Amino acid sequence: MAKIMKKKVALGMSGGVDSSLSAHLLKEQGYDVTGIYLECWRAPGCRTEEDRKDALAVALQLGIPFQVLDFKQAYKDKVVEYFFTEYQQGRTPNPDVMCNKEIKFGLFYDWAMANGFDYVGTGHYAQTDHQHLLTSKDEHKDQTYFLYRLCAEQLKHTLFPIGHLTKTKVREEAKKRHLSVANKKDSVGICFIGDINVHQFLKDRLGENPGPVVDMQGNIIGVHQGLWFYTVGQRHGFTIFPRTLINQSDGTTIDKHNIPPFYVIKKNPERNELVVGFGRETFQKEFFVNELHLINNEAALESETELFVRIRHTGQLLHCTIEKTNSHLRVIFDEAMRGIAEGQSAVFYVKAPKEFVCLGGGMILGL
């Protein structure tokens, strides 16, 4: 009788509970699993050593091979430099989207396919039928926003072992299997770098570059320390001059002690201006998207009548309509929304019977 060959999976193991349980589930399902730790960042205060040891301990417990891939230089070149460049140019980057595109489903995926693996596995909260990217059962942990740059060919060779579970269930299943990381805290912050002081991280690299804070009419009303320290919707970190202001909408004066909070509306890098406004001025009903990437086909968006968009990770799925322009996609909300930041991603979805299908997305353009 011919021997049945097990399907080989290169599983990205971060040392956290999600990828650790993924290793157990895949082995229980009969896969030939190899644990892969991606070393992408090493700096004082980071958890690389601890995380690698935790991942190795789980691999030893399971009796599976374990390997470390050194992607530190590639991560610096492709993700960290992108992070600084985008901020320097007045946009708000999303390093987790870039990390998944360039590292996890770039270098790691390509390495796995070149080394005879049938699949790449990760502990992402997402699902796939090997053709479409689907949202996870846990809608609060869903990570499809970060994965929208995958392509259909990659999904044929991708496994998301915990996508059908909630975070609570993941921890329960990890405890049943006596995983040492069952109660380990979730990683937060920037992908691989972790929970850092972003302001200091930017200051160490870019320094400060003070400039004017202006209102929607262009009047100078304050000062900022450098455009890269601010994101759309932010309401602190800049200085408003202590004087009486004129309410431009009706001409009335506002006493300096009763000024409502200002929010960042946009940035003008060419003039080093930070544009701020009151709450009502931060809402907009439409925006434009470029660099559109669709997972399955270019006609997917045009054929959908019930289309939803997410403009930030864990953000609401918002009903929208779209119009194609010469070079961009115009996205229109049913109701005006706040916090649409240039450089972030707009990710599109349609409703399926049990979950949402992620169609792809693009980069949000400036106002």
Kindly give the residue spans of alpha helices, DSSP state H, lying in the chain. Answer: 17-28, 48-62, 72-75, 81-88, 95-99, 109-114, 152-155, 167-176, 198-206
Using the CB atoms, write b or e for 83-117: b if 16+ within 10 Å: beebbbebbbbbbbbbbbbbbbbbbbbebbbeeeb
Catalytic residue among 99, 151, 320, 358: 99
CA 107 to chain centre: 18
- Active-site residue 320, yes or no? no
Find the farthest-apart pair of alpha carbons in the chain and give their distance in angstroms, rounded: 89
Catalytic residue among 40, 191, 320, 358: 191
For residues 27 and 33, the answer to whether their CB atoms sit within 8 Å is: yes
Nearest-angstrom CA–CA distance, 108 and 350? 29
- Active-site residue 46, yes or no? no
Nearest-angstrom CA–CA distance, 364 and 87? 14
User: Residue 67: beta bridge partners?
Assistant: 36
Q: Write the single-letter amino acid at 151.
A: C
Residues with active-site annotation: 99, 191
